[in-house]
Amino acid sequence: MANEEELAMLRIMCAVRLGVLLFCVFGCFSAAEAASGEDRILLELAEERFGLLMPAEKELFIRVSRGEGVDRRVKPLEGNESLNDPNEAEKWGNERVIRSKCIKWLCMNPKASRLVTHKGIQVAGVRFEGELDLSFVKIPFPLAFLESTFTKKIDLQRAEVRGLYLDGTHTREIRATDIKVNGPVYLHDGFNAKGKVGFIGATIGGDLNCVNAKFDNPEGTALSCDRIKVEGNVFLKNGFSAKGKVRFLGAIVEGTFDCSNGKFNNPKGTALNCDRIEVKDGVFLRNEFKAEGTVWFSRATIGTDLDCANGTFNNPKGIALICDGIDVKNVFLSNDFKAVGEVRFLGAKVGGNFDCQNGIFSNPEGMALNCDRIEVQGNLFLRKWLWVAGKVDLTGARVGGYFIWAGFKPPEETTLDLRAARVGVLWDDERSWPEKGRLFLHGFVYDEIEDDAPRDAGRRLEWLGLQGEYSPGPYEQLAKVLRESGDEDAAKTVLVAKNEEKAKQDDLTGTERIWYKFFGPMIGYGYRPWRALRYVAGFIVAGWILFGIGRLTKVVTPTHMDAYNEDGDISENYPKFNFLVYSVDMFVPLVNLHQAEYWLPNANKGFVMWPWGVTIRWGGFLRMYLWFHIAAGWVLTTLLVVGLTGLVSK
């Protein structure tokens, strides 16, 4: 009996405990499911507006008023990791679906939006059905849609929101023209847009982060941010990929514009257009950045560097990189930088250095690097394994520091045009000089030649000889620099070479031919006047011999009748004939050695000669040579005088 009573008591206690347990379980369940207070109000408003709600929608309306997010992602099973892949969103069940109009209602309905906390709407792992139209809506909280999918476009034109986060989300077209975001915009970590994404004229209070994002609109514009204002940084890097145009025309970026390791693909047109962009910090197109199509930074203003080190720019049938009129601190097209197509910096202003060392510029049939009228306050480096196939145009360039063209062997296609350019210090080497006919130096001005560069006249004349056409200016510039460095003799050597090269030209006038081919060489064109002494000595020796022979053959005779005595011999009192002195007296003008007035060749004496088919006596020939001897004396003496005074060289 006692045992039965104890057993009954035990059953009662178990029943009580089970009841308590069930009460707790169902009570907790009801507390979790049932909304109370503001939760209940928002849920009732939503049910009144939409009727029957889907599970994810119901959870959304409950959680947003608590400041919580909705996460419908599931734990992937082994071998089925794609359960949360937005690409597979069409396979997701209704428990992972939210109608876009629910989000719109939360943002636009005054009663509903007041119940959303400052943390905003946070949703992950959901498929949004229908178009999300929030155009012209002022949203007082941030929007975060993570690893989700939008089946239709998103319209945020002229909307205002505290932050926009689409991390890992897949979308269609996004229209966000003139949107104002009082915080950052995150389109990163697997974000994928099929269709145009437009933030034209947008204002973003933080970063525009598109790291590891994909924008796909190959037939048009993939990402359009013309006139955008970003108070932070723009990140289009580390896995960023765009098929179609990317535009930032007239954009203003308070931080950096970083496209490191980004991929921009639009081979038939513009890959990245940043014309007139203003970036307060640096622009980075480096670390395996790659563009298929033209990259534009014309008239851009960059606070620090344009760094394209190890970047690839590919547009073989056009211009790979355009930076006309850019204003930047430093430019780096170096360290495995590669461009196939023209690289252009027309009229660019560089406050520091322009560095192309170890870069590759390939455009064999045209312009490889066009820096016409560029202004570089620092140094211009074209050195260290640089490879250029095509023309390097530095016409009218201004370089305040060093212009270095050294340390590499240019291919046969390399042409260097320095016409009208001006640099501080020229530093080159023979190995890096282009082939003959591919160097243009007319109007090229440099203040100094680096000590480690070829400085002697011989090698520098070889350098000048590589020009396509003769131009006197480069010779005069080289002579000026050599003279100012203290090497006067080398300067004169260069100037003589200038005139010798001029003598080879075919367009000389008659007077020029006489000077450059005959008289000029006699005195080194005024820079080596002592050369004339060789000709003077030659004439004097020739006269010494000829007049000596003439006297020995009695063709040179006294000019005075009283020179002979009664027996017909020359009087002992008559001035004696001196072969050498006579030659000098006849040759040197305005000098009287008392030989010329007493002796002359007699044209009627001597044996008969037939030079050039003309019959003439030996005396007549000697008389004709005497005239030539006298004329040569006048000419050479005059040349020597004007050469010594510097009148010809001046």
Q: For 442-468, how does the pLDDT look when each residue is reduced to its tens digit (9 = 90+)? A: 999 999 999 999 999 999 999 999 998
Res. 644 pLDDT band, cuts 50 70 90: confident
Single pTM value for the model: 0.83
Instruction: Say how far residue 251 (Cα) sits from the centre of its chain.
Output: 22
Provide the β-strand partners of residue 283: 257, 306
Please report the pLDDT score of residue 78 as a whole number.
59
Residue 604 predicted with pLDDT over 90: no
Could you identify the residue written with the tokens 């006048």? 634
Please report the pLDDT score of residue 474 as a whole number.
96
Q: Can you give the length of the chain in residues?
A: 650
Distance CA 601, CA 142 (A): 118
Q: Residues 133-191: pLDDT tens digits?
A: 999 999 999 999 999 999 999 999 999 999 999 999 999 999 999 999 999 999 999 99
Cβ-defined contacts of 118-122 (< 8 Å, 24+): 118/67, 119/67, 119/68, 119/69, 120/64, 120/144, 120/162, 120/163, 121/60, 121/64, 121/145, 122/64, 122/68, 122/69, 122/70, 122/146
Q: Tabulate helix, strand, coil % of the chain (nearest 5).
A: 30, 30, 40
Burial code (b: 16+ CB inside 10 Å, e: under 16) for 125-150 equals bbbbbbbbbbbebebebbbbbbbbbb
Distance CA 187, CA 640 (A): 84
* E strand segments, 225-372: 229-230, 234-235, 241-247, 252-253, 257-258, 263-273, 278-279, 283-284, 290-296, 301-302, 305-307, 312-322, 327-328, 330-332, 338-344, 349-350, 354-355, 360-370
Contact in structure between 452 and 427 (CB atoms under 8 Å): yes
Q: Residues 225-241: pLDDT tens digits?
A: 999 999 999 999 999 99
Amino acid letter at 564?
A: Y
Query: Across 31-45, 329-343, 456-470, 533-547, which has the greatest mean pLDDT?
Result: 329-343
Please report the pLDDT score of residue 650 as a whole number.
52
Residue 615 predicted with pLDDT over 80: no
Radius of gyration of the chain measured on its C-alpha atoms: 47
In eight-state DSSP terms, residue 86 is G
Res. 21 pLDDT band, cuts 50 70 90: very low
Residue 51 predicted with pLDDT over 80: yes
